[in-house]
Amino acid sequence: MNVNPLLQLKALGQHVWLDNLSRTLLQEGILQRLMSEDGIDGVTSNPAIFQKAIADSHCYREDLQRLRGSNLDAEARYEALVIPDIQAACDMFLPAYTSSLGETGYVSLEVSPTLAHDMAGTEAAAWRLRQAVGRDNLLIKVPATPAGVRAFEHLTAQGVRVNVTLIFSPAQYEAVTQAYLRGARRWLDSGGNAQQLRSVASVFLSRVDTLVDKRLDALATASTVKIQAIKGKSGVGLAKRCYCRYLEIFHGPDFARLSQAGVRPQTPLWASTGTKNPAYSEVLYIEPLIGAETINTLPDATLAAFRAHGHVAITLTTGMSDVQAHIEALAVLGIDLDDVGETLQIEGVRLFAEAYEKLLAAVQ
């Protein structure tokens, strides 16, 4: 009998979350089946996911019609539609949350992407959404923009559990981890309960390859063979580099006092794991990134592909010399991953804001 590769990931210490949420998944038993058969123990959502869910599913029509007759503004209508879904998913994952002592079993809800550069607005929205959902196993998603990182530090210092999203570079990852350390110290120093803190750092992968490959194609001349040889490796390289830094920070002296007090490390989460280039493997952002103390959040199609033909082995800490050689090769060609990350974060905020505006227009 073949063992489900998704369950094998869990046995190796890597949690698998679903990068999707809709009322259809909840009401038709699909999410429950993924939990029981595939070991899925968390969910991530974003404005684009909810925009598609509300547009495609008949399950929202009755509530949407009722809300259109109310005096609520568009944002309040959207939240009235999706917060019950978030609450229902949190309730479904509560056993995983409880049995893991708060390690997993979370559902993520994102603050409005229009607040990406507004620290105070992000912080206020995070508190409002946290109170509206009223579930301990909720993660508020905050972007890794400079303003978002400052808001994240303040929220952590107040005991709020946060999923920091839109991380596209080593520099952005570093800023997020340092903000977690500062916020956690402040929380402890104020007398906060160490076990209340929980955070994940969502590192986006496929979009990195898309942009780096585009820049490599623009450079292709006589060295076309060399260019082709280094395409499609930047996303995995970014994840491996971030994981190495994770080990240095959270298994090193910087985190020692917090660890002794009972604070959990901030878990790296691999996001944007659906392969965008059809020439690449469907499981490009799973098989090379298997390792303990991590989360991989998978869209439906990627999850199905790995279930069907995924190969499982500890791979996350292997090939680091190749990663370094890849980064150096990019540098020789004038491509810097931190610069790539800045471009992608700006684009990511814009895309999420556009999805959010479409979502609000749909509930008017």
Strand partners, 165: 143
Cα separation, 234 vs 343, whole angstroms:
15
> Residue 256 is which amino acid?
A
Residues of the chain with pLDDT under 70: 1, 221-225
CA 160 to chain centroid? 17
pLDDT value at residue 1: 60
Per-residue b or e along 177-191, where b marks 16 or more CB atoms closer than 10 Å to that residue's CB:
bebbbebbbebbeee
Q: With CA atoms as reference, report the closest residue to 146 among 162, 163, 167.
A: 167
287, two tokens = 């098989």
pLDDT value at residue 303: 98
Please work out, in degrees rounded to the nearest 5, the angle formed at the alpha carbon of residue 112 by the alpha carbons of 53 and 66.
50
Strand partners, 139: 108
* Residues 74/138, Cβ–Cβ less than 8 Å: no
Cα separation, 115 vs 118, whole angstroms:
5
Cα separation, 78 vs 97, whole angstroms:
27
User: What region does 105 belong to: left with phi over 0, alpha with psi -120 to 50, or beta?
Assistant: left
CATH code at position 284 = 3.20.20.70
Give Cα separations from 220 to 109, 208, 230 (angstroms).
Answer: 41, 18, 12
Give Cα separations from 331 to 144, 216, 337, 340, 346 (angstroms).
Answer: 24, 11, 9, 12, 22
pLDDT value at residue 224: 60
Whole-structure pTM value: 0.96
- Other CB atoms within 10 Å distance of the CB of residue 54: 23
pLDDT value at residue 266: 98
Strand partners, 15: 295
Cα separation, 179 vs 301, whole angstroms:
34
Q: What's the number of domains the chain is made of?
A: 1
Q: With CA atoms as reference, report the closest residue to 246 among 305, 198, 181, 304.
A: 181
Please work out, in degrees rounded to the nearest 5, the angle formed at the alpha carbon of residue 16 by the alpha carbons of 11 and 22.
150
List active site positions.
141
- Collapse the DSSP code of 136 into the 3-class scheme (helix H, G, I; strand E, B; otherwise coil) and give the result: coil
pLDDT value at residue 178: 98
pLDDT value at residue 97: 98
Give Cα separations from 46 to 82, 147, 177, 315 (angstroms).
Answer: 11, 19, 22, 29
The domain of 157 spans 5-362
Give Cα separations from 99 to 40, 104, 269, 308 (angstroms).
Answer: 14, 9, 21, 28
- Please, what sign has the CA dihedral across residues 207, 169, 138, 262? positive
Give Cα separations from 353 to 46, 111, 112, 117, 210 (angstroms).
Answer: 10, 11, 8, 12, 20
- Collapse the DSSP code of 39 into the 3-class scheme (helix H, G, I; strand E, B; otherwise coil) and give the result: coil
Please work out, in degrees rounded to the nearest 5, the angle formed at the alpha carbon of residue 286 by the alpha carbons of 292 and 175.
65
Cα separation, 158 vs 264, whole angstroms:
15
